[in-house]
Structure 1
Amino acid sequence: MPTPYPPIQEMQLGDYNDLEVARETSIGLYLTSDDGDLLLPGKYVAPGTRVGDVLRVFVYRDSEDRLIATTQRPLAVVNSFAGLSVRDQGPAGAFLDWGLEKDLLLPFPNQRRPVRVGERVLVYVYLDDTTDRLVATTKWAGFLSDEPFQGRSGEEVQLLIADETDLGYNVIVNGTHRGLLYANEVFRPLRPGDALPGFLRQVRPQDGKLDVTLRRPGYAEAQAATDVLLSALRDNQGRLPLGDKSLSDDVYRRLGMSKKVFKQALGALFRRGLVELAPEETRLR
């Protein structure tokens, strides 16, 4: 009985696909998918690639609206959030740099406010049903979950910076829910699309919205800061050019903690007799 051919993989537009090389031509390789063969241009073909090999490629539409494959890695895939820079403006909207030769369109109707060239914005990337094209939108809040957040105060979460407000920063928590990071929690510049760890401060009982912090709450935060400071001292031959009179920015740049938390950790080590203090220096005993 003849062995059946394996089923052709359903191709995912705007995402990574594992596709088999069907044939080789002068302009590149054609890969087999359920939507027909698509081109992987020669400049993306690794030496030694042969017919029958399975390649992991990203699939999108080129400037002539044809499906095409690339081994380049975009900064965002379909159904995801990302911070992207505005490269240009056109009659249909703005064009975003997402790491591929063809820029990503941010249509005018998808902009919460007009964007400027050079500006970095948080967007959600999706497949437009009408045009079958990948597009971006800055109206990202509509793609978040309406379900209650399953988490407890003090729990570690992943934060994605969305935009700055009068109170601080809107953030996306664990890729699913909106949260607020207050300005007094932040000790370094943040940009839309920056990803960083944080902690859940509270789920507001009145509206279910999330308040988050960059600092580990309570005793655990103080203990973690003490460990970080002690480790930094040991890694720098027992000396750090930081002390009680150091600038907050210098403390955060070196240790990733606020001046207040640094002083608490410093006091804890001093009380244990582990360090000697100077206004702008700390040494291990």
Structure 2
Amino acid sequence: MKNGKINTLKVVSIDDKGYQLQNEKGQEIFLPLEELQTKAEEGAEVEVFIYKDRARMITGKLPSVQVDEFAFLTVKYLTEAGAYVDWGLDKDLFVPKEEQMEDLQEDKTYLIFVFEDEDTGVIRGSQRVEDFVFLDEIDVARGDEVRLQLYRESDLGINAVINNMYQGLIFRSDIHKEVHVGEELTGYVKKVRDDGKIDVMLEPLGYKKSVDSNTDLLLKAITEGAGFLALTDKSNPEEIKRILGLSKKAFKRAAGHLYKSKLIEIRQDGLYIVKK
């Protein structure tokens, strides 16, 4: 039986108290009737979550995160010994005080790693992200699309867990849209460093270069039109192509970049230079 994991087991017998379940190796475990979400027949396969707290627990309710995974979890209540966070089960996941990186607050959400204590087998949570990421045998490369969990801001940018395994950083100079700690989103590998840490971007490589080029082109067109260009996001794609040589998507991206930089105003009749 895999501790802290969802196990697929076969129902070998049923009585009025519950189900006797068995894995492929013939090991058996009893599941109380009330712990299974729907009724199962003898011979059926069911998914159950098995984990150790003070004793070995089994439930047909499945958690939102398993052992060796990161997830954003919300604190339900605090004690002197630690915090209890919601992971989708009736019994909350315990995050000991020594596994916290800050004073956690009730009803707030934090990135938590679920781990199995090597000595006791007890399942616990930790906020010490850097203790559980891999810094070698990196299997992503420059340009790869990756999954990001943004968990902490620093002077350099925003720290992220990559693909549930690696530590990454999005430099502030590479952030071109509004993002926040606590978000899960798609990113792209910019560089794998010698220390095993990874620089990531929120857009595919080459995006910034094309945006800068298209932005310069659009700004020049508005300037040459005495500070006004009669194009909007409702303009015909052919018209945009004829005037600027850009696709409608590239035009909207460049206009959005200029607007966020407070260089232009976007009105119903077109784009206007912001007068200093």
State the TM-score, normalized to the length of structure 1.
0.67
Structure 2 residue aligned with 1:29, among 19, 23, 28? 19
Figure out how many residues of one structure are paired with residues of the other and give that number: 229
* Counterpart mapping for 1:180-199 below 5 A: 180-184=169-173, 185=175, 187-192=177-182, 194-199=183-188
Counterpart of 2:254 (choices 246, 260, 263) is 263
Which residue of the partner structure matches residue 197 of structure 2? Answer: 209
Distance change in 2, residues 1:15/1:38 (3 Å): same
Distance 2:234 2:94 in 1: 47
Aligned AA for 1:164? Answer: E
* Residues in 2 aligned to 1:281 and 1:155: alpha-carbon distance in whole angstroms: 40
How far residue 281 of structure 1 moved from its aligned partner, in angstroms, is 7.4
Q: Match for 1:17 among 4, 7, 10?
A: 7
State percent identity of aligned pairs: 27
Residues in 2 aligned to 1:240 and 1:43: alpha-carbon distance in whole angstroms: 54
In structure 1, distance between residues paired with 2:234 and 2:269? 4
RMSD: 3.5
Is the Cα–Cα contact under 8 Å of residues 240 and 281 in structure 1 kept in the other structure? Answer: no
What's 1:174 paired with?
Answer: 163
For residues 215 and 126 of structure 1, do their structure 2 counterparts lie closer, same or farther at Cα, with a shift above 3 Å needed? Answer: same
Does residue 1:57 correspond to 2:54, yes or no? no
Q: Using the alignment, how far apart are the partners of 2:120 and 2:186 within structure 1? A: 37
Whether the 8 Å contact between 2:18 and 2:30 is mirrored in structure 1 is: no
- Residue 114 of structure 1 and its aligned partner are, at CA, apart by 2.1
Q: Distance in 1 between matches of 2:109 and 2:268?
A: 36
Give the distance between the partners of 2:10 and 2:139, measured in 1 at CA.
Answer: 41
Specify every segment of 5 or more residues in structure 2 that has no aligned partner in the other structure, as ranges.
Answer: 215-231, 236-248, 259-265, 271-276
Q: How many angstroms apart in 2 are the aligned matches of 1:211 and 1:143?
A: 18
Amino acid at match of 2:180: L
Letter in 2 for 1:161: L
Q: Structure 2 CA distance, aligned partners of 1:147 and 1:180?
A: 16
Contact map agreement 1:87 1:117 (CA 8 A) in 2? yes
**TM-score, normalising length from structure 2?**
0.69
Matched, 1:69 2:59: yes
Contact 2:50–2:56 (CA<8 Å) still a contact in 1?
Answer: no
Asked if the contact 1:81–1:122 (Cα under 8 Å) also holds between the matched residues in 2, the reply is yes
Distance 1:90 1:35, change over 3 A: farther
1:38 is aligned to 2:26: no
Q: Which one of the candidate residues 79, 99, 108 is aligned to 2:88?
A: 99
- CA 1:41–1:133: 2 relative to 1, 3 Å: farther
Shift of 1:88: 0.8
Determine if contact 1:17/1:58 at 8 Å carries over to the other structure: yes
In structure 1, stretches of 5+ residues that fail to align are 1-10, 227-238, 243-256, 268-277
Q: How many angstroms apart in 1 are the aligned matches of 2:269 and 2:190?
A: 33
Q: Which amino acid aligns with 1:51?
A: E
CA deviation after TM superposition for structure 1 residue 78, in Å: 0.8
The residue type equivalent to 1:279 in the other structure is R
Task: Report if the CA contact (8 A) 1:28-1:45 is conserved.
Answer: no
Between Structure 1 and Structure 2, whose CA radius of gyration is higher? 2
Counterparts of residues 119-198 of structure 1 (less than 5 Å):
119-147=108-136, 149-184=138-173, 185=175, 187-192=177-182, 194-198=183-187
